Structure 1
Amino acid sequence: MRLKNIAALRRHFAFALCLVAAAAGAPGFAADAPAATTAEGRVAGVWEEGLRVFRGIPYAAPPVGERRWRPPTRPAKWEGVREARSFGPDCVQPSYPAASVYFEPPRPMREDCLTLNIWAPERAEGAPVIVWIHGGALQYGSSASPMYGGAEFAKRGIIFVSINYRLGVLGWLAHPALSAESAEGVSGNYGLLDQMAALIWVRRNIGAFGGDPANVTVMGESAGALSTTYLLASPRAKGLFAKAIVQSPNMRAVPHLRDAAFGMPSAEATGTALAGSLGAADLAALRRIDPKALVAAGMRARFIAQPVIDGAVVPEQLVDIFDRGEQAKVPVLAGFNSGEVRSQRALVPPAPADAAPYEAEAGRRYGDLAPAFLRLYPSSDVEESLVAATRDAVYGWATERLVRGQTRAGRPAYLYLFDHCYAAARERDLCAFHASELPFAFGVAGRPLGGMPNWPMPAGEADRALARQMIDYWAAFAANGTPSAGGAPAWPAYGDAENFMRFGARPVAERDLLPGMFEFQEEIMQRRRRAGEQWFTNRSPLKRQRLMD
């Protein structure tokens, strides 16, 4: 009887909503469309698998015309009921090569792209919230990717929000004229400011969908993990979230706004050179250029989309902020994959023919640290050692440094290594490749997933079981700050024992991940930092005398 009453009430409410929509001249809605009232106006979504789903809701004004390369502002209010059934357009970006494992068929793209999507349980009230930030080198990606559906999280009581943010030149360009027109005298970091604007929108509106604005977890992978780390570090993001999930981050040096540093030109100098290549005499001319032409020019110029040390949004390098304990003091769940760079071979140095030149090169590059390097990455299998060394220089060290920083700050931090291989990945030498944890963390491994033609999808029952456990851990962490899963091992915090969870064929709790790895990579980073060099990978030769400092 109670279920029948609820269904009747829902139909009655939906009928009333349709009357309002018709009076406002809105498009026709399904008879039982779920609805919510935001600060900007009312939205109507769709029912999917018993969940309320809203797509394409604007969280900021369109960043077009005079708003191109400006901080995001609140969206305009609307009358009546806004349709929220379809994803908004992707932000303007290039395409991945057709053969790339990450390729997805192109979707509609526009500069007006600052939208978000929500998956919510039917009767949520005070529910925990996850805000997902997609990866893609800050240059590619979309919240509309089929990998990023939030249904499995919502089935576990989580309100799942995914966002678009400005990419490439449109999201990360710095320029002296842009700094001059800014009240703070800075430019760049527009994509990061978009992410903060989305979090502010969530704080203001998520209660209307049944969410708890005080229990928000930011979650990201790759460039999304890098973004999440900068949100942890930025004073502008303090208080906007309560926890963070960070999948495959890095802590590379990034450019300073006005000064050359760590082997890189200033961000403003890079922007000036790009504007010059386009023949743009001033900002007005730059803002008139077609957005797709701008993105193409950025690709030709090899523009690197990345945060900028501007003293305001990003005060200093990540390593400095974490060393001083100035990051957000929130619980963190972070990890990386054992085969990260198997799908990023451009990062891996060419392998010498045999052991002798490999060992000689190690001596030239690392000097007194060469014996430690060869213990960690031995010459018995040069190719595999180079893959492991690159993985650790980019992802492994950064992840463990993040977890150590939060532990040192007195907050719970949970470390994982995704080490699972399955038939489709093994056939292509892509075991535990970069982003391969995503079907498991989203709980969709072992089922068909259209729209990703080159992805080696996990397909077995063991994959489905691991996916259920991983998303349970992630959802529990978002709910209460402690990752747990029914029938799976307890996941202890990193702590003094250096605990971590290995996700192989099944979850296994272990200690001391890759013994000696962090200490070696940390020493390399510190020497390069003192020498004023980029520390992102071990690919570039180093001056031996500087490593001896």
Structure 2
Amino acid sequence: MRKLLGAALAAWMLIAAPARAEAPVVAAPAGTVEGVAQNGVRIFRGIPFAAPPVGPLRWKPPVAAAKWDGVRKATAFGPACVQPRNRNAGIYTNPLDKVSEDCLTLNIWAPEGAKDLPVFVWIHGGALVAGYSHESMYDGARMAARGNMIVVSINYRLGILGYLAHPELSAESPDGISGNYGLLDQIAALKWVQRNIAAFGGDPGNVTAAGESAGALSVLYLMASPRAQGLFHKAIAQSAYMITTPELKQDRHGLPSAEAAGMQIMGVVGAADLAALRAMDAERLTVEAATKGYGPWGTIDGKVLTRQLVETWDRGEQAKVPVLAGFNSGEIRSLPVLLPPAPANAAAYEEAIRARYADLADYFLRLYPSGNIKESMLATTRDALYGWTSMRLAIGQTAIGQSAYLYLFDHGYPAAAQYGLHAFHAAEIPYVFGTATQTPPYWPKIPDGVVDRRLSDAMLTYWASFARTGSPKAEGQPDWQPYGKAANYMGFANKPQPGTRLMPGMFALHEAAVCRRRAAGDQPWNWNTGVISPVLNKATGCR
């Protein structure tokens, strides 16, 4: 009897237990992969899109990964690309399990039954020095399910391993160029998407390239690069910055050539030649280069990037795609390293501005008055980097007949306010991805309340709609009009609120300052603003 009861109980448990989701398997041109299924979403992690750039492939353009035999497990994320480890706790700190040069992988989230869905390719931020595709905030499950689209996140080479230019490297290249390896990795990932994403239910003819901060800078580089044309059809740039970019062989705009910077850092780290540099331990080299002041940027090489971003946009040569772009009201509150030292008092502040901005000084001081120096300096740096860039994107795409959608993220909540971090840099990301409970350990905790849930739902839906159609719409929410002649934008505070003419006068001031710096020819733009600006002399064609 006991045996019969036991058998009956076991049978009942098998019937009553929920059926375990069968592991999804996809046969793609790159090879067959097995992922995991969770809550109606198929997830494939750590898929290689390029061969490991190690040994002789270090500082080479990416080579497509060889097709593998059999079924490859795609159930674990790949390692992050080599980067310095965080030593100090901060809101962006999220300890890494593993870093490696063998890091060129991507992750895919696809709704079950997906077919011909829009594809959203996410490029992480981190100043081109840090970051990784599987950061918990970038979990694409909710976006894929709620937005009914395919979400892809990618890794790319960082720091000196991703952006070093050097005469020896240029001599190796058939094109006579070097640098931009991280950008070429992003292009390789987009090519992999073109070849393979249909097997996962995505439409290769409807791809959105999206990113935040350095990821958004990367989106601008992609929009400017002839080698990325046709690989994506829409662009999202969250807190982008259209900065001065070093040129391969010439010192210009106050910057040394990229090759000169490469030669300098080679000497600093004690490598006699390129072979010695390739033989160095990747982590040690990356940390030492960062510590000694090496800054990774794109390189104007005439092939991958043909000219300064501002020149590309002035000529209307950027990708002819719809754009969604914007910035956060408190960008610099979490990035105080970008601020110069504050003048001692209001008089010193005004004196510094008048000495530097000359005939533009009164205009400047109306926008950034001396009554509250701290707030004015936060706003100055925010606008010179992120605000000016976002508006330039909106104006530039409108000028070439493409739709552009501008936003300002101005949402705050108690935990952020406690540290003076209202609408800080990257604060919008968990709202876009629907990952409010998956922020880094020291991130100000987002409330689990009606206001924040509704705001996240609205933003996720707008972003998904833009990826689907090129027009951001959300049921039950205000219409988001293209920038157009009315200079429309959408504000995100406690709820979406449309408006026109965001921050009147801001763009014109910083456009005038950039124009004068460009005309001078010996000054970079964006970083050296406000009380540390060079003297802005009038120039032909500039305000």
- TM-score category, normalised to shorter length: over 0.9
Q: Matches of 2:104 and 2:353 in 1, distance apart?
A: 47
Whether 1:235 and 2:223 are equivalent positions in the alignment is no
Q: Matches of 2:96 and 2:123 in 1, distance apart?
A: 19
> What is the TM-score normalised by the length of structure 1?
0.92
Q: Matches of 1:192 and 1:268 in 2, distance apart?
A: 17
Q: Matches of 2:467 and 2:244 in 1, distance apart?
A: 29
For 2:5, the equivalent position in structure 1 comes to none
Whether 1:137 and 2:135 are equivalent positions in the alignment is no
Partner of 1:232, secondary structure, is helix
1:279/1:355 CA distance change after superposition, 3 Å: closer
Deviations 1:279-337 (Å, cap 9, x if unpaired)? 32222221111101110221122111110110100000000000000001000000000
For 2:245, the equivalent position in structure 1 comes to 254
Deviations 1:27-58 (Å, cap 9, x if unpaired)? xxx87110111222110000111110000000
Task: Structure 2: give runs of 5+ residues left out of the alignment.
Answer: 1-19
Judge conservation of contact 2:116–2:201 (CA < 8 Å) in 1: yes
For 1:381, the equivalent position in structure 2 comes to 372
Judge conservation of contact 1:347–1:539 (CA < 8 Å) in 2: no
For 2:23, the equivalent position in structure 1 comes to 33
Deviation at 1:351, TM superposition (A): 2.4
Pick from 434, 440, 445: which aligns with 1:457?
Answer: 445
1:61/1:428 CA distance change after superposition, 3 Å: same
Deviation at 1:97, TM superposition (A): 4.0
Q: Which amino acid aligns with 1:520?
A: L
Partner of 2:118, secondary structure, is strand
Q: Which moved more, 1:228-237 or 1:355-364?
A: 355-364
Judge conservation of contact 1:56–1:115 (CA < 8 Å) in 2: yes
Q: Which moved more, 1:538-547 or 1:291-300?
A: 538-547
Pick from 261, 280, 296: which aligns with 2:271?
Answer: 280
Q: Which amino acid aligns with 1:321?
A: T
Q: Matches of 1:372 and 1:545 in 2, distance apart?
A: 13
Pick from 41, 46, 64: which aligns with 1:51?
Answer: 41
Whether 1:86 and 2:76 are equivalent positions in the alignment is yes
- Give 1:293-308 correspondences, 5 Å limit: 293-308=284-299
Partner of 1:319, secondary structure, is helix
Whether 1:153 and 2:140 are equivalent positions in the alignment is no
Pick from 503, 516, 520: which aligns with 2:492?
Answer: 503
For 2:8, the equivalent position in structure 1 comes to none
Judge conservation of contact 1:348–1:539 (CA < 8 Å) in 2: no
Q: Matches of 1:467 and 1:237 in 2, distance apart?
A: 31
Whether 1:268 and 2:254 are equivalent positions in the alignment is no
For 1:3, the equivalent position in structure 2 comes to none
- Give 1:163-174 correspondences, 5 Å limit: 163-174=154-165
Q: Matches of 1:96 and 1:520 in 2, distance apart?
A: 37
Pick from 468, 478, 482: which aligns with 2:471?
Answer: 482
Partner of 2:333, secondary structure, is helix
Deviation at 1:185, TM superposition (A): 0.2
For 1:523, the equivalent position in structure 2 comes to 512
Q: Matches of 2:458 and 2:54 in 1, distance apart?
A: 43
Q: Which amino acid aligns with 1:66?
A: P
For 1:19, the equivalent position in structure 2 comes to none
1:301/1:289 CA distance change after superposition, 3 Å: same
1:303/1:539 CA distance change after superposition, 3 Å: farther
Q: Matches of 1:281 and 1:256 in 2, distance apart?
A: 24
Deviations 1:173-230 (Å, cap 9, x if unpaired)? 0000000000000000000000000000000000000100000000100000000011
Q: Which amino acid aligns with 2:445?
A: M
Q: Which amino acid aligns with 1:249?
A: A
Judge conservation of contact 2:353–2:530 (CA < 8 Å) in 1: no
Task: Structure 1: give runs of 5+ residues left out of the alignment.
Answer: 1-29
Partner of 1:393, secondary structure, is helix
For 1:178, the equivalent position in structure 2 comes to 169
Judge conservation of contact 2:258–2:299 (CA < 8 Å) in 1: yes
Deviations 1:111-140 (Å, cap 9, x if unpaired)? 000000000000001000000000000000
Q: Which amino acid aligns with 1:338?
A: S
Judge conservation of contact 2:323–2:405 (CA < 8 Å) in 1: yes
Q: Which moved more, 1:535-544 or 1:384-393?
A: 535-544
Judge conservation of contact 1:121–1:159 (CA < 8 Å) in 2: yes
Judge conservation of contact 1:96–1:102 (CA < 8 Å) in 2: no
Judge conservation of contact 2:217–2:242 (CA < 8 Å) in 1: yes
Deviation at 1:269, TM superposition (A): 0.7
Deviation at 1:545, TM superposition (A): 6.4
Judge conservation of contact 1:133–1:221 (CA < 8 Å) in 2: yes
Whether 1:112 and 2:116 are equivalent positions in the alignment is no
Q: Which amino acid aligns with 2:130?
A: Y
Number of residue pairs matched by the alignment: 517
Judge conservation of contact 1:64–1:112 (CA < 8 Å) in 2: yes
Deviation at 1:350, TM superposition (A): 2.4
Deviation at 1:519, TM superposition (A): 0.3
Judge conservation of contact 1:59–1:198 (CA < 8 Å) in 2: yes
Q: Matches of 2:534 and 2:450 in 1, distance apart?
A: 51
Whether 1:541 and 2:532 are equivalent positions in the alignment is yes
Q: Matches of 2:163 and 2:536 in 1, distance apart?
A: 35
Q: Matches of 1:429 and 1:300 in 2, distance apart?
A: 29
Judge conservation of contact 1:131–1:216 (CA < 8 Å) in 2: yes
Identity %: 56
Judge conservation of contact 1:366–1:547 (CA < 8 Å) in 2: no
For 2:400, the equivalent position in structure 1 comes to 409
Deviation at 1:528, TM superposition (A): 0.5
1:381/1:398 CA distance change after superposition, 3 Å: same
Judge conservation of contact 1:45–1:54 (CA < 8 Å) in 2: yes
For 2:382, the equivalent position in structure 1 comes to 391
- Give 1:437-456 correspondences, 5 Å limit: 437-445=428-436, 448-449=437-438, 452-456=440-444
